[in-house]
Chain A
């Protein structure tokens, strides 16, 4: 498998920020009250993750080990603040929807985590791909959790998606008729419950896949170095 393909497989599934690395759980639980919120937070995080990975990779040879953490923290905090101000100034309508999430990105340990685990050891291009893959995996996780909580808790899917993505996406918005919703799922306990079930589901699936791979006859899979 190519390096890019491997990075995407890791970001989306094997090393998924939420479901495998269990990082960034605080923003995950806080914003996933709806699918739209999860999507907004995920996309904003992805953008910051790609840029921060590129910047960290660019300066990785200049920065010495002893001071790399403070340098990265300053870099990421600056980046998030710049993005926050720029969106507020020039994309103000988007800011009204995303504004709450952008400031939260600064405390998202997944960003520093990727800088430390990947970008500081790898080239600019692959670091950008890694940021994109990790970001999309994070986005996917948030959307899934958000949709489940929204569906069970409010009986809607992607409510107010057109505010985030533009009126063309209003077809995404679904309202389940005659269902008031179980409020608990929107409240914090719902986040813990949904995350717990999803984590358990992924473990079971991974174990099945592993068992099947082990049981498969040797000759059916090409030899891998």
Chain B
């Protein structure tokens, strides 16, 4: 069969496009199938690493990635990870989010059963490089200021950046970003306080 002769036929074009579409989706299906489990495993490891990073070393000995409970927060489901040592609940970890200067800032926080913060990390943000990105633990130790704080300590009206008469530092040239993180963490503590029974799975 002469390729040049049939190439200009009307039926050839849609057939060719269809074949390439099929081949492409076939290739994607094969790769997606082959890579899927590895991707899930790698993402689980990432999550475990970031969760372990927020917890003080040696605090928990359970597989907290699989000790979870879903709690509803204003219509959205929040997954709570429970860190235990033996059978004692040592901490709960969950993600909170707040709108920053550009886009959403995702924050992971660890709270002990009494409502005291054990650690806070920013998981994802798109703040201005060089200004707002000081909320990252590897760029500045600002985010460590949250450890040890709780809803009563400092008082509710002091849960703000210094510019708003609070206790948390802001950065030169970037107030909106730290303000959003403070608001996210405070919201997370309030969420913990109001839904404590569901979150910890223990009697109030």
Query: Which of B20, B45, B131 is A71 in contact with, Cβ under 8 Å?
Result: B20
- Least CB separation from A71: chain B residue: B20
CB distance from A147 to the nearest CB of B (A): 16
Residues in A with CB closer than 8 Å to B130 are 153-154, 181, 183, 186
Contact status B39-A61, CB under 8 Å: no
User: A47 on the interface (CB 8 Å rule)?
Assistant: no
- Least CB separation from B13: chain A residue: A67
Interface of B: prevailing SS: helix
Query: Which of B12, B35, B36, B129 is A186 in contact with, Cβ under 8 Å?
Result: B129
List residues 39-79 of chain A with CB under 8 A from any CB of chain B: 61-64, 66-67, 70-71, 74-75, 77-78
Residues in B with CB closer than 8 Å to A85 are 31-32, 35, 39
Write out, one digit per residue, whether chain A residues 166-202 have a CB within 8 A of any chain B CB (1) or not (0): 0000000000000001010011000000000000000
Given contacts A88-B39, A153-B130, are A63 and B24 in contact (CB under 8 A)? Answer: no
User: A121 on the interface (CB 8 Å rule)?
Assistant: no
Contact status B28-A82, CB under 8 Å: yes
- Least CB separation from A78: chain B residue: B24
Q: For the complex, what is the distance from the CA of A52 to the CA of B70, rounded to whole Å?
A: 44
Residues in A with CB closer than 8 Å to B57 are none
For A81, A85, A90, which residue has the most chain B Cβ atoms within 10 angstroms?
A85
Contact status B35-A64, CB under 8 Å: no
Query: Which of A75, A78, A92, A187 is B42 in contact with, Cβ under 8 Å?
Result: A92
Contact status B27-A67, CB under 8 Å: no
User: A103 on the interface (CB 8 Å rule)?
Assistant: no
User: A89 on the interface (CB 8 Å rule)?
Assistant: yes
CB distance from B101 to the nearest CB of A (A): 12
Contact status B42-A183, CB under 8 Å: no
Q: For the complex, what is the distance from the CA of A78 to the CA of B28, rounded to whole Å?
A: 7
List residues 23-66 of chain B with CB under 8 A from any CB of chain A: 24, 27-28, 31-32, 34-36, 38-39, 42, 45-46
Contact status B20-A82, CB under 8 Å: no
Query: Which of B16, B34, B35 is A63 in contact with, Cβ under 8 Å?
Result: B16
Residues in B with CB closer than 8 Å to A62 are 3, 16
Interface band, chain B: 20 to 34
Interface of A: prevailing SS: helix
Q: For the complex, what is the distance from the CA of A90 to the CA of B31, rounded to whole Å?
A: 12
Q: For the complex, what is the distance from the CA of A206 to the CA of B125, rounded to whole Å?
A: 42
Query: Which of A63, A71, A78 is B27 in contact with, Cβ under 8 Å?
Result: A78
CB distance from A38 to the nearest CB of B (A): 14
CB distance from B168 to the nearest CB of A (A): 22
- Least CB separation from B8: chain A residue: A64
Contact status B17-A89, CB under 8 Å: no
Write out, one digit per residue, whether chain A residues 77-103 have a CB within 8 A of any chain B CB (1) or not (0): 110011001101110100110000000
CB distance from A139 to the nearest CB of B (A): 21
List residues 72-91 of chain B with CB under 8 A from any CB of chain A: none
User: B190 on the interface (CB 8 Å rule)?
Assistant: no
User: B21 on the interface (CB 8 Å rule)?
Assistant: yes
User: A16 on the interface (CB 8 Å rule)?
Assistant: no
Residues in B with CB closer than 8 Å to A36 are none
Contact status A74-B24, CB under 8 Å: yes
User: B7 on the interface (CB 8 Å rule)?
Assistant: yes
Query: Which of B21, B38, B46, B129 is A74 in contact with, Cβ under 8 Å?
Result: B21
User: A28 on the interface (CB 8 Å rule)?
Assistant: no
CB distance from A195 to the nearest CB of B (A): 18
Q: For the complex, what is the distance from the CA of A131 to the CA of B47, rounded to whole Å?
A: 37
Query: Which of A67, A95, A153 is B16 in contact with, Cβ under 8 Å?
Result: A67
Interface residues of B (CB under 8 A from A): 3, 7-8, 12-13, 16-17, 20-21, 24, 27-28, 31-32, 34-36, 38-39, 42, 45-46, 128-131, 173
Smallest CB-CB A-B distances: 6 pairs: A89-B35, A89-B38, A92-B42, A78-B24, A85-B35, A64-B7
